A and B are shown apart, each in its own frame.
Chain A
Amino acid sequence: MIKRLTSLAQACSWLAVVTTLGLVLLLLGFLGLRGFDALNPALFFGKTPAWAAITARLPVWHGIWPACVGTVTLVLLASLLAIPLGLASGIYLASYAPGPWKRWFALAVELLAAIPSIVMGLFGFALILFLKKTLAPQANTCLLLSAGCLALLVLPYLILMTQTTLEALPSELRLTGLSLGFTPWQNLVHILLPAGGRGILSGVILAVGRAAEDTAVILLTGVVANAGLPSGILGKYEALPFHIFYLAAEARSDAELAQGFGAALVLLLLTAALFLGAYYLQNTLAKAWKQKDLLI
């Protein structure tokens, strides 16, 4: 009986894995098939010569280059805001927060995680309206505002992953450094964080992926269809997800629709490149930590 149940459970889990993998492959295949033909310099730069566009000497019309730059800048800026804050909060929750505080803080993080992105976008929009009427009449929706709202949106992933990773480390590891005379800070920086590197990295990857794909937040906080390259963090900008959304909703020809698929494929590749970058960075750091290159 137990044997039969076990094999049933095994079959189910196999089925689940195969289904998930199959769906992902189907999606990738579909995107690849539809988007691959659109992947050419014209998709990125329209009729502008590539080098002139990359060096920003000539503006790009009908190309997704400004949107690529916009998305990368947006994700980097949001990560810059969210990663330090998220890691620090996770560390605080895992190592320092006293009991009652911890419960309240954890509740706040869960609430933050439950906020839909459109609400976060509305929050950013309302914030700018408020600033306009009070402290800063010239304030407007912009890259910085979007990045700030996105940072808030992805913060819970970072906090929860950091906290759970650190809490899951064996308690011996925590004691080892302390028993040798490490300060709590040294213990954290030189032992606990590197040992939890992989888990924290997956939090970062989740956050980066979420920030790269989100459309609702940026829709209300500064993205536009035609802005060219972002002029600065207080300027309007273009972004790939919004571009895809715009083309999907309002494509007037098959060529424009194909451009939409091309843009989707580019977004996918861009996110993959960001993940690989994060993975490479973590791997390099882990290797340096394991050897400490202090060898005899």
Chain B
Amino acid sequence: MEAKRPVDLEPSVRVEHLHVSFGGREVLHDLSAQFAPGEITVILGRSGSGKSTFLRALNRLNECFPGSATRGSVRLKLQGQWRDIYREALPLTELRRRVGMVMQTPHLLPVSIAANLALPLKLVLGLPRREIPARVAGALKEAHLWEEVADRLDAPAHTLSGGQQQRLCLARVLALEPEILLVDEPTASLDFRASLKVEELLLSLKERYTIIAVSHSLSQARRLADAALIFRDGSVAERLSREDLQAPDTLQALLEEIF
């Protein structure tokens, strides 16, 4: 299965010869890939194939883990400019705000719903106090959460349901005005209906962001993906287009490959 559809949009993420290791054990091996804006690229692969490590290489979050070492180049187009994030002195805080990340399980701060969004706005963007409420509301609306939480913004964030918590995490990232969204199995901890809601949300966001999502579910990939990368042993085994994903024979091959 070769890529049948070339990437027709100018990419906004170019990864070349990426190696990532932890304590000498290589997790990503000579990985190259590119991602286009306005698309959702879904990364599929067995557990341990390096999917999450790859996402964390794009916002340099691997460096928060002991013994990590990264080689190769990751170039991102941020504000119309190509930045090589491992070579240029792009401040980490700036990078991580522009490349927003949503994790597998909702990583909430143990504070109120509003404060979950307000705190990063205040600390990372240095937004003046009076501008914060509008921005919080805007992000909650963008994440399709506003109507569900508007009357209880002071409530502790963990009182929300799992799906709502995950959308709150997404809202928190959106509030910081990112350009690239990294989404690590966002529905792993959710039931089917809540998952569908998060998927709808991602589809509605894809026009404005480059979205790279890790998924465990082939059917989810078929619903979301404009393109899919199959990871095997820390590098890209295959790249599939949307049409490839829908084709029944591909499906069978994929099932054997991944599961």
Query: Chain A: residues with CB nearer than 8 A to chain B?
Result: 172-183, 186, 190-191, 195, 289-292, 294-296
CA gap between A291 and B108 in the complex, in Å: 14
Q: Is B64 an interface residue (CB 8 A)?
A: yes
Decide if B111 touches A182 in the complex (CB within 8 Å).
no
Q: Name the CB-closest residue of A to B66.
A: A99
Count of chain B residues with Cβ under 8 Å from any Cβ of A?
A: 38
Decide if A294 touches B154 in the complex (CB within 8 Å).
no
CA gap between A181 and B120 in the complex, in Å: 8
Decide if A180 touches B176 in the complex (CB within 8 Å).
yes
Q: Is B94 an interface residue (CB 8 A)?
A: yes
Give min CB distance, B58 to chain A, whole Å: 11
Give min CB distance, B154 to chain A, whole Å: 6
Give min CB distance, A128 to chain B, whole Å: 45
CA gap between A205 and B112 in the complex, in Å: 28
Q: Name the CB-closest residue of B to A195.
A: B110
Q: Is B9 an interface residue (CB 8 A)?
A: no
Which residues from chain B contact A178 at a C-beta distance below 8 Å?
61, 64, 96
Q: Is B122 an interface residue (CB 8 A)?
A: yes
Which residues from chain A contact B107 at a C-beta distance below 8 Å?
172-173, 175-176, 179
* Apart from A290-B111, A296-B136: 9 A-B pairs, beta carbons within 8 A: A173-B109, A180-B176, A181-B93, A181-B124, A186-B124, A291-B111, A292-B111, A294-B114, A296-B133
Which residues from chain A contact B172 at a C-beta distance below 8 Å?
180
CA gap between A266 and B132 in the complex, in Å: 49
Contact of B176 among A175, A181, A191 (CB under 8 A): A181
Decide if A295 touches B61 in the complex (CB within 8 Å).
no
Contact of B123 among A190, A195, A295 (CB under 8 A): A190
Contact of A295 among B92, B154, B156 (CB under 8 A): B154
Decide if B96 touches A295 in the complex (CB within 8 Å).
no
Q: Known: A290-B111, A290-B156, A292-B118. Contact between A172 and B97, CB under 8 A?
A: no
Which residues from chain B contact A191 at a C-beta distance below 8 Å?
109
Decide if A176 touches B109 in the complex (CB within 8 Å).
yes
Contact of B115 among A173, A181, A294 (CB under 8 A): A294
Which residues from chain B contact A296 at a C-beta distance below 8 Å?
114, 133, 136-137, 153
